[in-house]
């Protein structure tokens, strides 16, 4: 029985989307095989993906999301992944392409057609509210935290503007751990050289995603070396929120800022209280099948 998948991307952060009811015994192994940038699934001008989103509709207007990364591991939260999950759910409802799921996970076409385009994404990092608009998908990202135990850090004090492996780093958790460094120009930063020593630093016992950001007239340019991908991605939603949260803590911005990874522009809001909000476009790339 073939495995049906769809391909989505959010500002270049691309994902294979599969229903949880698909007959896959090991989703981690599935991700390793099909996300590989040299030998993985080919669609458009790219092979592979930044991860596999395993999705289901657990109840009305509630999408269960699990992300499997190219190294076979999982991530508790992914901002662009959650936005793609929201786009997938609405597309399924509108075009009626959902198939029968198990008794507890009804096909999307039976779930009030998700007419509100406003629902909850169930992730290991917690529930995240999503809203699908005409041109953008908005997702609540939780409240960023600098608490050492929440990142986690191998220390009891926050890590703010301290030199780690030659760069001034601030550590924050925006669903997953991030290290943020502000540089003069992200385009001249050798990310492949500078990021791994920080990603594997003893300060981060569970590792960290590494972001560099540089100030622009509209906000910040962004580049991210992503844990689990073990390389640079065209976009990272939790990384964009991390940059905005750190910039706000350092007094560089107020509540709202544009963050621009290579794949496009993201709008980030970090209010004084309540969750951060990430907003940007989501695109459907296509649909295909692979053997189990």
| DSSP-assigned letter for residue 32 | H
At 266, list the tokens. 């993201």
Rounded CA separation 115/138 (Å): 16
pLDDT at residue 103 greater than cutoff 90: no
- The structure tokens 């270049």 sit at 12
Position 92 confidence tier, pLDDT thresholds 50, 70, 90: confident
CATH number for the 162-274 domain, one of 3.10.310.10, 1.10.10.200, 3.30.300.20, 3.40.1280.10?
3.10.310.10
Q: Which of 18, 35, 84, 236 is catalytic?
A: 236
Rounded CA separation 182/277 (Å): 21
At 71, list the tokens. 């190294």
Verify whether residue 84 is a known catalytic residue: no
Q: State phi, psi for 231 to the nearest 5 degrees.
A: -175, 180
* CB-count exposure of residue 165 (10 Å: 0-12, 13-18, 19+): middle
Strands 277-280 and 283-290: unpaired
Q: What is the pLDDT of residues 165-182, one digit of tens each?
A: 999 999 999 999 999 999
Strand partners, 258: 219, 267
Q: Are 45 and 89 in contact (CB under 8 A)?
A: no
What does the pLDDT read at residue 210? 98
pLDDT at residue 16 greater than cutoff 50: yes
Looking at CATH, the fold of the domain delimited by 3-141+281-290 is given as Diaminopimelate Epimerase; Chain A, domain 1 (3.10.310)
CA distances from 231 to 50, 69, 220, 236, 257 (A): 10, 12, 21, 12, 25
Q: Given this chain, do its domains 3-141+281-290 and 162-274 carry the same CATH topology?
A: yes
CA distances from 211 to 182, 191, 192, 261 (A): 8, 9, 11, 10
Rounded CA separation 205/218 (Å): 35
Sign of CA dihedral 114, 20, 286, 280: positive
pLDDT at residue 192 greater than cutoff 80: yes
Other C-beta atoms within 10 Å of 12: how many? 17
Task: Name which residue leads in pLDDT, 227 or 58.
Answer: 227
**Which residue in 179, 173, 188, 137 sits closest to 161, CA to CA?**
179
Domain extents in the chain: 3-141+281-290, 162-274
Q: Are 290 and 153 in contact (CB under 8 A)?
A: no
H or E element, residue 215: strand 209-215
Q: What is the pLDDT of residues 147-162, one digit of tens each?
A: 999 999 999 999 999 9
**Which residue in 228, 131, 56 sits closest to 236, CA to CA?**
228
Verify whether residue 236 is a known catalytic residue: yes
Calculate the average pLDDT of the chain. 91
The structure's pTM equals 0.90
Residue spans of alpha helices (H) in 112-263: 191-199, 237-249
Q: Which of 18, 35, 78, 84 is catalytic?
A: 78
Contacts of 248 (CB under 8 A, 6+ apart): 254, 255, 257, 270
**Which residue in 140, 146, 101, 148 sits closest to 268, CA to CA?**
140
Chain centre to alpha carbon of residue 247: 20
């Amino acid at each position: 029985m073939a495995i049906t998948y769809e391909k989505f991307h959010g500002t270049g952060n691309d994902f294979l989307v599969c229903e949880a009811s698909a007959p896959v015994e090991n989703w981690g192994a599935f991700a390793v095989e099909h996300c590989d940038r040299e030998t993985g699934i080919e669609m458009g001008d790219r092979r592979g993906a930044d991860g596999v989103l395993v999705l289901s509709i657990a109840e009305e207007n509630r999408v269960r999301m699990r992300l499997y990364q190219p190294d076979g591991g999982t991530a508790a939260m992914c901002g662009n992944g959650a936005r793609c999950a929201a786009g997938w759910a609405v597309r399924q409802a509108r075009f009626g392409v959902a198939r029968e799921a198990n008794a507890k996970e009804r096909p999307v076409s039976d779930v009030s057609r998700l007419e509100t385009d406003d629902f909850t994404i169930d992730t290991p990092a917690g529930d995240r509210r999503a809203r699908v608009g005409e041109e953008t998908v908005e997702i609540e990202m939780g409240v960023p935290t600098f608490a050492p135990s929440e990142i986690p850090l191998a220390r009891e004090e926050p890590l703010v503007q301290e030199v780690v492996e030659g760069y001034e780093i601030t550590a924050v958790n925006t669903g997953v751990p991030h290290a943020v460094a502000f540089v003069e120009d992200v385009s001249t930063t050798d990310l492949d050289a500078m990021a791994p020593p920080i990603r594997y630093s003893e300060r981060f016992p569970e590792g960290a995603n590494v972001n560099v950001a540089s100030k622009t007239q509209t906000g910040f340019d962004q580049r991210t070396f992503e844990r689990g991908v073990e390389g640079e991605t065209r976009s990272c939603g939790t990384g964009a929120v991390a940059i905005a949260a750190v910039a706000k803590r350092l007094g560089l911005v107020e509540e709202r800022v544009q963050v621009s990874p290579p794949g496009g522009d993201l709008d980030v809001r970090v209010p004084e209280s309540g969750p951060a909000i990430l907003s940007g476009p989501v695109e459907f790339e296509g649909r295909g099948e692979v053997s189990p």
